[in-house]
Structure 1
Amino acid sequence: MDLAFLHPLYEQPGPWASVYVDTSRHTESTPHERHLTAQALSQELAGQGADEATCQAVRSAVEELRHSSEPHGRALFARGGEVVLDPPLAERPAGGSSARWAPLPRTTPLLELAGEDPVCLVAYIDRRGADFELRGALGREDAGSVTGRQWPIHRTRSVDWSERHFQLAVENTWEHNAGEVAEALAACREETGADLVVLVGDDRERRSVHERLPQGVRERTVEASHGPGSRLLDEDVERIRAEHVRHRAEEDLERFLAARAPDAEGRALAVEGVPAVIEAAREHRIDELLVRPDGADAHQEVWIGEDADQVAVRRTELKTLGEQHSWAARADDALVRAAVATGAPALSVAPADATVRSDAPVGGLGALLRWK
């Protein structure tokens, strides 16, 4: 997951209120239930030491969700009487609504609950060209079209010489149009920044376009076996998007497992465990952070300073580094802060996705490394 959207949470000092609101239940009594939830979450924060202004800001933000039809939930991060960030969730919070007051925002659950949100560029292909549309969690929108040569398009069944010449012209038209669709599709994907390309149409047309896509686009392209004129249903798109996210997670985990062995220069390209990952964070060498939510190390207490790279297993280490102020924090949240500061993505390695090794990374925290 790209963590850039979390930057506002680390531009101001803590402590922070981190609230996860479950909005998956929708009945006639939902507005009243959410009113009670707003009060309960505010009281929970107050009991943990949050200031009244921040408790009020959270209470008001949850109250505003009384009539929300969001299917899963919302995260709220607040300090100093202001909600700074409120991303929607792609999954409901497993334990229901919750609130936490701590030196760092509790952002690690977002790796699972906010999830990846790949945007699909769908190409509906026929022999004349293609229509494009963007499909994502929020619906669909038209993304243009491309039209190739219009004649000749259809074959005949005759076998005389002139007709065989005509058949060749038809073949040439198909191939030309496939090339035009591939070129336009690659340009549209670059312009829109779509994560995934989906080809829809007859087998031959899909395959012809697929083969002509640039290598970088081809690697992010899948084919959907729908007939001419058919459109992908929302459930088709959700399945394709989910498979894409799962495949990417498995690839990253495989890469991590392979990178743990030292390279030709004797350097490890991946580390795991709190001490090793924290050392990588201090040296700005995390290329991708891996978190296994059920890992024992994820909630281990570490010590942090004011800056993202001021993190240590023991408080005395920070003093040795010259940091005068320090606070206790969860290891996973401290490492997410460090990843955000250096532009590194993060991946939640849930047991269901870790088909290769359900216990990796050991302890629940690992990192792929970058070397200067």
Structure 2
Amino acid sequence: MRLSFLEPLYKRPGPFASVYLDTSRDTAREDPDAAVELRWRHLRDALMSEGADPDSITAVARMVGCDTDVPGAHGQAVFTAHGRLALLDELPVPPARDTAHFGTLPDTMPLIVQRAPAIRYLAIHVRYGGRHSTGATGTVRIDAEAGIWPLTKVTPGYRLHEEIPVADWLYAADVIGRELEGHARRVEAEAVVVAGDVWARGILVNRLPASLRGQVTTVEGAGESQPGRALLEHRLESLFSGRMAAHDRALLDAFLAQQARDGAAAEGLSAAVSALQRGRVKALFLNNHPESTLRLWVGPQPRHIALTEQELRSYGVEDVREERADAALTRALVGTRSELVVVPEQQLRLREGVGALLRYADPSSLP
């Protein structure tokens, strides 16, 4: 996963207030706004107890609950520093628990995990309820969305909606197929998911450009999508659950290949930190352990990262702080333009939960 979306956050100096909370406004709650406000009050107290400055807390308060136009279950991630908003993002699902943290570095790992697996896709739903014949009356309705899963749950991608007279469907399917190819290319889609009427969708799939046909998966029983949410959301949830994006999978395969021949790969926290200090990491692999108590020492710059305070001071860094390991690793990755891949433990258990694909092998390790 490319972490460029975090770059604006790290352009600001800390300390940061980092807040994650459930801001769902489903109809089951009598007064959802009051519920959001109550949860925020608990988090505000937590920030105050950690020494957050009043201006940063006020800046969070201005943004909490501003997502009234986002339907369904979801959450917010809010980051502020020195009384100013540093980053605001919608969470595709509510956080497992509301949290607030004030520290030198922003607590970004929960946001990154919510964006995974970041699969680029094209979803298509074709509807036709009449007699299966191009001589029949009525229309074929087609909806399509190009986006990145699961972000499209709360941030809709490009949407296409067309209604075609059924008599024109054979010809129109060619035209629409070429248009869909353009949108798929723009998002670099790795999956094309098609649902709806078997006859109408079959014609469309057969007329899609060859570059898309090989990526098609058809699903049944698409159901109605909630306005403002991802097209075919529930089917995509089932289809993409436990799956890695193709780009991340390729990086992981490269890591395993390098590891097998003692090449440009490292495993374990110490080895990963050493590689980040020298800007050698192409991609870092993490098993997600939100309960982890691992800590690292950091300084003002992204490469100021070490296992101990003494090590960091030995490099001439005077302003040092101890922070959560995942927060320190993330800042180093963004600062060195490296990628991050969240690896499910059932796919690969990494030593200390950390592995790294390196930009080049260490010459001293070569025979």
For the Cα contact (< 8 Å) 2:17–2:106, is it kept in 1?
Answer: yes
Map of 2:137 onto structure 1: none
Q: Note the C-alpha offset of 1:16.
A: 0.6
1:48 counterpart = 2:50: yes
1:247 counterpart = 2:250: no
For the Cα contact (< 8 Å) 1:34–1:66, is it kept in 2?
Answer: no
Paired with 1:258 and 1:77, the residues of 2 have a C-alpha distance of: 34
Greater Cα offset, 127-136 or 232-241: 127-136
SS of corresponding position for 2:240: helix
Paired with 2:339 and 2:88, the residues of 1 have a C-alpha distance of: 20
For the Cα contact (< 8 Å) 2:25–2:33, is it kept in 1?
Answer: no
Map of 1:256 onto structure 2: 252
SS of corresponding position for 2:64: helix
Q: Note the C-alpha offset of 1:244.
A: 3.3
For the Cα contact (< 8 Å) 1:178–1:205, is it kept in 2?
Answer: yes
Q: What letter corresponds to residue 92 of structure 1 in structure 2?
A: P
1:286 counterpart = 2:285: no
Kindly tell me the number of residue pairs found equivalent between the two proteins.
333
Per the normalisation by structure 1, the TM-score is 0.73
Greater Cα offset, 57-66 or 41-50: 57-66
Query: Structure 1 288/13 Cα, relative in aligned 2: closer, same or farther at 3 Å?
Result: same
Give a deviation string over 1:30-82, Cα, whole Å, max 9, x none.
33333333332222111111111112222333365689756221011011112
Paired with 2:123 and 2:65, the residues of 1 have a C-alpha distance of: 37
For the Cα contact (< 8 Å) 2:19–2:99, is it kept in 1?
Answer: yes
Map of 1:340 onto structure 2: 334
What does residue range 124-203 of structure 1 map to in structure 2 within 5 Å?
124=126, 133-134=144-145, 136-138=152-154, 142-143=159-160, 183-191=178-186, 194=189, 196-200=191-195, 201-202=198-199
Map of 1:78 onto structure 2: 80
Segments of 5+ residues of structure 1 without an aligned counterpart are: 154-173
Paired with 2:247 and 2:88, the residues of 1 have a C-alpha distance of: 30
Paired with 1:315 and 1:183, the residues of 2 have a C-alpha distance of: 58
Query: Structure 1 300/50 Cα, relative in aligned 2: closer, same or farther at 3 Å?
Result: same
Q: What letter corresponds to residue 137 of structure 1 in structure 2?
A: K
Fraction of identical pairs, as percent = 26
Paired with 2:350 and 2:79, the residues of 1 have a C-alpha distance of: 28
Query: Structure 1 189/368 Cα, relative in aligned 2: closer, same or farther at 3 Å?
Result: same
What does residue range 309-320 of structure 1 map to in structure 2 within 5 Å?
309-320=303-314
Segments of 5+ residues of structure 2 without an aligned counterpart are: 135-139, 147-151, 362-367
For the Cα contact (< 8 Å) 2:25–2:32, is it kept in 1?
Answer: yes
SS of corresponding position for 1:339: helix
Map of 2:16 onto structure 1: 16
For the Cα contact (< 8 Å) 2:22–2:94, is it kept in 1?
Answer: yes
Per the normalisation by structure 2, the TM-score is 0.74
For the Cα contact (< 8 Å) 1:117–1:137, is it kept in 2?
Answer: no
Map of 2:321 onto structure 1: 327
Q: What letter corresponds to residue 364 of structure 1 in structure 2?
A: G
1:234 counterpart = 2:225: yes
For the Cα contact (< 8 Å) 1:249–1:349, is it kept in 2?
Answer: no
1:98 counterpart = 2:93: no
1:301 counterpart = 2:312: no
Choose the corresponding residue for 2:210, options 213, 222, 235. 213
Paired with 2:102 and 2:70, the residues of 1 have a C-alpha distance of: 25
For the Cα contact (< 8 Å) 1:8–1:84, is it kept in 2?
Answer: yes
CA root-mean-square deviation: 4.0
SS of corresponding position for 2:243: helix
Query: Structure 1 225/49 Cα, relative in aligned 2: closer, same or farther at 3 Å?
Result: closer
Map of 2:111 onto structure 1: 110
Q: Note the C-alpha offset of 1:89.
A: 0.7
Map of 2:351 onto structure 1: 362
Paired with 1:367 and 1:106, the residues of 2 have a C-alpha distance of: 21
Query: Structure 1 131/192 Cα, relative in aligned 2: closer, same or farther at 3 Å?
Result: farther
Paired with 1:333 and 1:313, the residues of 2 have a C-alpha distance of: 14
Paired with 1:225 and 1:194, the residues of 2 have a C-alpha distance of: 21
For the Cα contact (< 8 Å) 1:249–1:347, is it kept in 2?
Answer: no
